[in-house]
């Protein structure tokens, strides 16, 4: 097994340099079957990838940068590996089993090509782990029900942070990487923005799990549930990027259609600190909240601390538009906050931006009030219906006598929702849970829930207002 660093590739052709300092755009590539948000138009690099079993496979690297931040997605095409495996097996000397593999139709495949496909995600993960970096998190995950791995690294040379996601879809390997300097907000939003699209540019989301075995035809192809995070969830009639091969030398990859129109945004951030650091972190968060409230374009900022788990916090920020939020992220007080918070954290600074469905704060929260943050994940087909259900729930719940706020939010993943509730006290919250409209919502939600996905409801208290 080779242990060279990830992307130790033979470069064949390089196009324009990465875009720097531009606004984020939604980029859709029908030829390579993905969509992702980049900070400006990405450049394209045509290259090759040496697989675990030594096959040379065509690959495309799409990349962009913003200042010292670097973002890329590598797409490796494994669809030709079968032919290479057969050719290798046919050329093997008699009895040379290590290069022959199995017969046609076998589990292994001639030249071990099937093994290569099944292990592609694991091999790419292994190569990431060979870097001069400290592994801080490794987990199995899925994107639009396509399984894969998530990797988080702290790079030894400069303490920068790398978030990577690795997936196999339609016998193509996808390696998404975002790297930011020490103290910067981690690139979780970039990671979350990735999705898959079909040849027409429509977003793909499945109703059941898609794995490498699916691409090999060894498990049934799951039904599609809706638009996922691809073009199907974007503006009507949006055009996707042309095939990578059609790009002339010296031209950057084409940007996808512009992002949705500017409007109010709510950013919900989850973070965890070491148990011994909860008080220090709380003080930093309160100072950050107060400074944020004074930033141009900010319409609200609060910090919640989870009941019974004092090292767990949620930051809820409300912004007039995307531009205000992006400007805030580059301010000195924001950078200083992250520099001080980073040594205390034991997990990512998990920012998730949303557009509002319904809500609005009523009376301010005070001592004894109960805050509730709920994450909901539904099928792509169910997202429009759940959006309307949440609008009705919010409108009705805000009329309850003990309610302080009830904000229904829709994430950048159109099938992901967040609900932020505020109640005068625990008695008011319990009364709400027992109402007919709350019961009707939960019962109605059951038909749209993704198998195994959470209805994740957690209780918090407000840090000093």
Percent of the chain at pLDDT > 70 equals 82
- Looking at the domain assignment, is residue 2 inside a domain? no
- Does 390 score more than 70 pLDDT? yes
Are 215 and 273 found together in one domain? Answer: no
What is the distance of C-alpha 100 from the center of its chain? 40
Query: Tokens 């042309």 appear where?
Result: 242
Higher pLDDT: 394 or 20? It is 394
Are 286 and 203 found together in one domain? Answer: no
User: What's the rounded mean pLDDT across residues 2-24?
Assistant: 40
Are 441 and 295 found together in one domain? Answer: yes
Are 221 and 289 found together in one domain? Answer: no
Domain membership of residue 137 as a residue range: 10-243
pLDDT per residue as tens digits for the range 394-444: 999 999 999 999 999 998 777 889 999 999 999 999 999 999 999 988 888
Are 79 and 161 found together in one domain? Answer: yes
- Looking at the domain assignment, is residue 320 inside a domain? yes
Cα-based torsion angle of the residue sequence 51, 57, 62, 63 in order, rounded to the nearest 10 degrees? 40
Number of residues that this document lists for the chain: 465
What is the pLDDT, as a whole number, of residue 362? 56
The answer to whether 79 and 51 are in contact (CB under 8 A) is no
What is the distance of C-alpha 363 from the center of its chain? 34
Are 64 and 141 found together in one domain? Answer: yes
The torsion angles phi and psi of 426, rounded to 5 degrees, stand at -65, -35
Are 228 and 309 found together in one domain? Answer: no
- Looking at the domain assignment, is residue 298 inside a domain? yes
- Looking at the domain assignment, is residue 116 inside a domain? yes
Cα-based torsion angle of the residue sequence 85, 88, 93, 99 in order, rounded to the nearest 10 degrees? -50
What is the pLDDT, as a whole number, of residue 248? 38
Average pLDDT of the chain to the nearest whole number: 82
Residue 370's alpha-carbon distances to 139, 312, 406, in angstroms, are 32, 15, 12
- Looking at the domain assignment, is residue 251 inside a domain? no
Euclidean distance between CA atoms 165 and 192, whole angstroms:
9
- Looking at the domain assignment, is residue 452 inside a domain? yes
Residue 420 belongs to domain with CATH number = 3.30.70.100
Label residue 376 by pLDDT band (50, 70, 90).
confident
Residue 75 belongs to domain with CATH number = 3.40.1000.10
pLDDT per residue as tens digits for the range 184-214: 888 888 888 899 998 888 888 888 889 998 8
Enter the tokens of residue 43: 């450049």
pLDDT per residue as tens digits for the range 230-284: 333 333 233 334 344 334 333 344 333 334 445 788 999 999 999 899 999 999 9
Are 303 and 188 found together in one domain? Answer: no
Higher pLDDT: 11 or 396? It is 396
What is the pLDDT, as a whole number, of residue 247? 40
Label residue 107 by pLDDT band (50, 70, 90).
confident
Enter the tokens of residue 269: 């951030």
Percent of the chain at pLDDT > 90 equals 49
The torsion angles phi and psi of 36, rounded to 5 degrees, stand at -165, 155
Start-to-end Cα distance in the chain: 56
Euclidean distance between CA atoms 50 and 56, whole angstroms:
5
Query: How many domains are there within the chain?
Result: 2
Are 233 and 307 found together in one domain? Answer: no
Euclidean distance between CA atoms 465 and 463, whole angstroms:
6
The CB-side HSE value for 89 (13 A sphere, CA atoms) comes to: 18
Are 48 and 108 found together in one domain? Answer: yes
Are 193 and 119 found together in one domain? Answer: yes
Give the pairing type, strands 69-77 and 172-180. antiparallel
- Looking at the domain assignment, is residue 259 inside a domain? no
Global pTM exceeds 0.85: no
E runs forming strands in 227-293: 265-272
What is the distance of C-alpha 315 from the center of its chain? 18
- Looking at the domain assignment, is residue 52 inside a domain? yes
Enter the tokens of residue 382: 């169910």
Q: Which one of 243, 277, 297 terminates a domain? A: 243
pLDDT per residue as tens digits for the range 317-353: 999 988 888 889 888 999 899 889 988 998 888 888 8
Are 76 and 132 found together in one domain? Answer: yes
- Does 360 score more than 80 pLDDT? no
């Amino acid at each position: 097994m080779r242990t060279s660093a990830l992307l130790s590739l033979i470069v064949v052709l390089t196009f324009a340099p990465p875009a720097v300092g531009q606004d984020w755009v939604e980029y859709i590539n029908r030829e390579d079957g993905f969509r992702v948000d980049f900070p400006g138009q990405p450049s394209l690099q045509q290259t090759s990838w040496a697989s675990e079993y030594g096959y040379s496979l065509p690959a495309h690297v799409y990349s962009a940068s913003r200042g010292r931040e670097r973002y890329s997605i590598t797409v490796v095409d494994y669809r030709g590996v079968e032919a290479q495996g057969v050719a290798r097996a046919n050329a093997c000397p008699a009895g040379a089993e290590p290069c022959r593999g199995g017969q046609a139709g076998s589990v292994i495949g001639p030249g071990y090509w099937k093994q290569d496909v099944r292990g592609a995600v694991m091999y790419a993960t292994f190569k990431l782990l060979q870097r001069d970096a400290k592994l801080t998190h490794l987990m199995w995950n899925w994107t639009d029900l396509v399984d894969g791995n998530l990797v988080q690294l702290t790079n030894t040379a400069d303490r920068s942070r790398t978030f990577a996601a690795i997936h196999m879809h339609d016998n193509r390997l996808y390696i998404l990487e975002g790297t930011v300097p020490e103290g910067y907000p981690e690139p979780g939003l970039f990671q979350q923005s990735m999705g898959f699209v079909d040849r027409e540019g429509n977003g793909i989301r499945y109703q059941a799990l898609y794995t490498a075995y699916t691409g090999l035809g060894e498990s049934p192809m799951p039904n599609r549930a809706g638009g996922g995070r691809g073009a199907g969830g974007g503006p009507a009639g949006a055009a996707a990027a042309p095939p990578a091969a059609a790009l002339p030398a010296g031209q950057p990859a084409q940007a996808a259609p512009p992002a949705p129109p500017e409007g109010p945004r709510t950013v919900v951030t989850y973070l965890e600190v070491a148990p011994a650091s909860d008080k220090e972190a709380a003080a930093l968060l309160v100072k950050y909240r107060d400074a944020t409230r004074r930033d141009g374009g900010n319409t609200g900022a609060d910090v919640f601390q989870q009941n019974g788990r004092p090292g767990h916090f949620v930051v809820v920020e409300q912004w007039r538009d995307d531009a205000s939020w992006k400007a805030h992220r580059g301010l000195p007080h924001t950078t200083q906050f992250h520099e001080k918070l980073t040594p205390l954290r034991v997990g990512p600074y998990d920012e998730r931006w949303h557009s509002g469905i319904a809500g609005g704060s009523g009376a301010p929260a005070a001592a004894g009030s109960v805050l509730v943050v709920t994450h909901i994940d539904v099928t792509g087909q169910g997202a429009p219906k759940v959006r309307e259900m949440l609008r009705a729930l919010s409108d009705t719940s805000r009329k309850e006598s003990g309610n302080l706020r009830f904000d229904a939010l829709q994430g950048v993943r159109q099938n992901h929702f967040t609900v932020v509730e505020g109640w005068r006290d625990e008695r008011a919250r319990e009364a709400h849970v027992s109402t007919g409209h709350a019961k009707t919502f939960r019962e109605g939600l059951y038909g749209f829930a993704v198998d195994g996905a959470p209805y994740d409801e957690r209780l918090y208290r407000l840090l000093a207002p």
